[in-house]
Amino acid sequence: MPESGVRCRIANVTMHAHRIKNLFSAIARHYDLLNALLSLKRDGAWRRETVKASGVDLGSKVLDVCTGTGELALAYADKIGTEGFVIASDFCFEMLVIGDEKVERKNRKTGTDFLAADTLTLPFSDNIFDVVSVGFGIRNVSDLERGICEMTRVAAPGGRVVILEFTQPVNPLFRSLYYFYFTKILPFVGNLISRNEDDAYGYLPRSVMKFPNCDALKIVMEQCGLTDVQFYRKTFGIVSIHVGKKPDKILSE
C-alpha cells in the first residue's frame, strides 16, 4: 500500500509539471508584455527591490530558479558587475530562449547563463551560490518545500534564499477590490492578448489563492533550514519579498 501511494504522488507531480511547462511554453512570447501591463508596470520595481533586499555585492554568485524569461536574473546581473555571474534556470525551454535573446540583443557584458533545469532537482553541488532567488515561480513547483530545500542546499553557508511572489493583501477593502481585478479582469485581458485557449491567466489567480500567505511561507522557509527569515510586503501587500539566511558553516556543524 505505501508503495502505491508513493507512485501515485510521483505521477501527480509529473502531471502537474507537464501541465505547467506546456502552459508557460504557450504564452512565452507574450509573457513580458503581459507582466508589465497586468502589474501596471510595477514588476520591474519589485525585482529591483528584491535585488536590493538580497544584499548582493559586486562579484556575487547568483542562481535564479524558475527564471522564466530571465527578468530577475538580469536585474541581478545589472547589480553584480563583471566580477560575478548569474545562472538563470527554468524547465521551460521556450522561456529560456527569450531570455537568452535579451542578453544578445542588449549586448550585456555581465555573465548571465541560461540553463534548462528543474528546481526540484538542481544540477549543482552543495554550498555554491551567494544568493539563490526565485521571482513569481516558486508557487508553480509541484512540491514547495522540496523546491525551497533545493534552493537552500545549493546556497553557500551565510548565503541568502530570496523569494519574490504574489500574496494576499491584508487590508479587507483593498483585498476585495484587488480580487475582483485579479480574478475577473486580469484573466480576461491576459488570455485575450496572449490568445491562450488553456486559460493560462485564469491559472495565475487560482495559484496565488492556494499559495501560503506571508507568515506560512516564512515557516516553510524555516523548516527548510533557513534562519533570520524576514519578509516585506509591497504595493499594498499584493506581493512580498522573503529573505532567509543559510546558517554559517560553524553554526551548522
What is the predicted pLDDT for the residue at 133? 98
In angstroms, the first-to-last Cα distance of the chain is 38
CB 213 within 8 A of CB 220: no
Map residue 120 onto helix, strand or coil: helix
Q: With DSSP H G I counted as helix, E B as strand and the rest as coil, what are the percentages for the chain, rounded to 5?
A: 55, 20, 25
Sign of the Cα torsion 204, 207, 211, 213 reads positive
What is the predicted pLDDT for the residue at 11? 37
Q: Which of 10, 9, 23 is nearest to 204 (CA)?
A: 23
What is the predicted pLDDT for the residue at 109? 56
- Domain 2-252's class? alpha beta
CA distance 27 to 23: 7
Q: Where do the domains of the chain lie?
A: 2-252
pLDDT by residue, tens only, the chain of 253 residues: 344 444 433 334 465 677 788 877 878 888 888 778 768 789 999 999 999 999 999 999 999 999 999 999 999 998 998 889 999 999 999 999 999 888 887 666 566 899 999 999 999 999 999 999 999 999 999 999 999 999 999 999 999 999 999 998 989 999 899 889 888 888 888 778 777 667 777 888 888 889 999 999 999 999 999 999 999 999 999 999 999 999 997 444 4
What is the predicted pLDDT for the residue at 10? 34
Q: What is the largest distance, in Å, between two alpha-carbon atoms of the chain?
A: 56
DSSP H or E run through 65: strand 61-65
What is the predicted pLDDT for the residue at 252? 43
